[in-house]
């Protein structure tokens, strides 16, 4: 059994009872196993994964593709059910879709017929429906303000009335992020949100995300295959093994904050952390044997 407890406020107690604990972790997976069935054969995506994420922590999950990283997010959000084990968000056990969990996926899910502003406002339109609207629980002025705040936060001011197809990939990601910030409660899950962006745009978005996270402390679980991105952003990097996915190690990232995604890469400690994570990372399936582990990691930084 692999049992791993994060250093940030997660209770080390084995028979941990959520209601009795002083500060329950925002998310906790206990001995979670997940099987999928494809054409009659059973595929084990996750095997005995236990993970606790403290409130307000930024946790990155890295691992070779197909190791079940995204499955963890699907389980936390409740779109998939575990084959064994339990998942809690706060004190509540996850059994159905967890409405209000922010989930920024790899593909953007903006509605193409709605402008940026209308897309960002969608969660509020949904919330302000029916009885709530009659009771005046959310006045239109408050909604406008919140939408404007989110659009401003992601730097899309001036593009409110553009349709998604009129925006670049990076701007669409920002719009999706703004939408997520409008409806998300404490937890935001991100599945390779910047994977489709070019390197420069990715750096900009990382800076943006850190900025937002430092003002709006939410719990973020960030799946990526990019080790540099994981180190630059997170408090802990969870390293997953190849399928069946297990947690191989959890590396605390002790780089000082606030971090700049560009310059953080030049800190010597960054390279040590990179080396440590790289050494533990499985090569992707069907890959040729890797160069010896003491080979230098790729040169860091954006050459600026």
Partner 1 sequence: MSELSDVRLELAEGVVRGVDQEAERKGRRARLLLHGGRLGLLLVSLGAWQYFGPRLGQIVASSPVQVFQALVDLARSGALWQDLATTLEEVLLGYLCGAGAGVLCGAILASSDLLAGLLDPFIIAIYGIPKIALGPLLVVWFGISLAPKVALAALMTFFLVFFATYQGMRNVDSDTINAVRLMGASPLQLRRYVIFPGARASIFLGLKLGVPEALVGAIVGEFVSSSRGIGYAIQYATAQLDTAGVFAGLLVLTVLSLTLNALVNRASKKSGASR
Residues near partner 1 (CB under 8 A) are 77, 79, 97-103, 105, 107, 109, 111, 113, 122-123, 125-127, 129, 155, 159, 162, 166-168, 170-171, 183, 200-201, 203-204, 207, 211, 260
Question: How many whole angstroms separate alpha carbon 117 and alpha carbon 200?
Answer: 25
| Beta carbon nearer to partner 1, 83 or 105 | 105
Q: How far is the CB of 102 from partner 1 (least distance, A)?
A: 8
| Beta carbon nearer to partner 1, 16 or 159 | 159
| Beta carbon nearer to partner 1, 100 or 283 | 100
Q: How far is the CB of 39 from partner 1 (least distance, A)?
A: 20
Q: Within the chain, where are the H helices?
A: 69-77, 116-127, 131-134, 140-153, 169-183, 199-215, 227-233, 268-280
Q: How far is the CB of 200 from partner 1 (least distance, A)?
A: 8
The alpha carbon of residue 161 and the mean position of all alpha carbons in its chain are separated, in whole angstroms, by 28
Close Cβ partners of 287 (under 8 Å, ≥ 6 residues apart):
none
**DSSP 8-state assignment for residue 205:** H
Structure tokens at 243: 């399928």
Q: How far is the CB of 38 from partner 1 (least distance, A)?
A: 17
Q: Could you tell me the CA-to-CA distances from 13 to 9, 17, 230, 252, 292 in Å, in that order? A: 11, 9, 28, 20, 39
Structure tokens at 165: 């197809």
Structure tokens at 35: 């099987």
Q: How far is the CB of 22 from partner 1 (least distance, A)?
A: 29
| Beta carbon nearer to partner 1, 10 or 209 | 209
| Beta carbon nearer to partner 1, 43 or 122 | 122
| Beta carbon nearer to partner 1, 45 or 175 | 175
Q: How far is the CB of 222 from partner 1 (least distance, A)?
A: 17
**DSSP 8-state assignment for residue 245:** B
């Amino acid at each position: 059994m692999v049992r791993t407890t994060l250093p940030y406020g997660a209770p080390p107690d084995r028979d941990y009872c959520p209601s009795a604990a002083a500060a329950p972790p925002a998310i906790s997976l206990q001995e979670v196993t997940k099987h999928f069935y494809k054409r009659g054969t059973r595929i084990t995506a996750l095997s005995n994964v236990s993970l606790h994420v403290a409130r307000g922590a930024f946790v990155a999950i890295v691992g070779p593709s197909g190791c079940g990283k995204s499955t963890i997010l699907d389980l936390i959000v409740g779109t998939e059910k575990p084959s064994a084990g339990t998942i809690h968000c706060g004190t509540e056990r996850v059994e159905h879709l967890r409405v209000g969990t922010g989930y920024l996926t790899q593909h953007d899910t903006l509605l193409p017929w709605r402008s940026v502003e209308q897309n960002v406002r969608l969660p509020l339109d949904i919330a302000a429906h029916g009885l709530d609207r009659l009771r005046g629980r959310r006045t239109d002025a408050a909604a406008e303000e919140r939408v404007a705040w989110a659009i401003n936060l992601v730097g899309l001011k001036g593009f409110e009335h553009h349709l998604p197809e009129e925006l670049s990939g990076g701007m669409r990601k920002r719009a999706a992020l703004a939408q997520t910030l409008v409806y998300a409660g404490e937890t935001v899950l991100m599945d390779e949100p910047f994977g489709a962006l070019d390197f420069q745009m990715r750096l900009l978005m990382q800076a943006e995300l850190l900025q937002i996270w430092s003002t709006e402390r939410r719990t973020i679980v960030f799946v990526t295959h990019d080790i540099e991105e994981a180190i630059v952003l997170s408090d802990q990097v969870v390293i997953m093994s190849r399928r069946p996915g297990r947690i191989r190690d959890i590396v605390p990232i002790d780089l000082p904050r606030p971090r700049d995604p560009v310059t953080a890469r030049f800190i010597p400690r960054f390279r040590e952390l990179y080396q440590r994570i790289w050494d533990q990372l499985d090569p992707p399936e069907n890959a040729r044997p890797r160069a010896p582990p003491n080979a230098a990691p790729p040169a860091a930084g954006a050459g600026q």
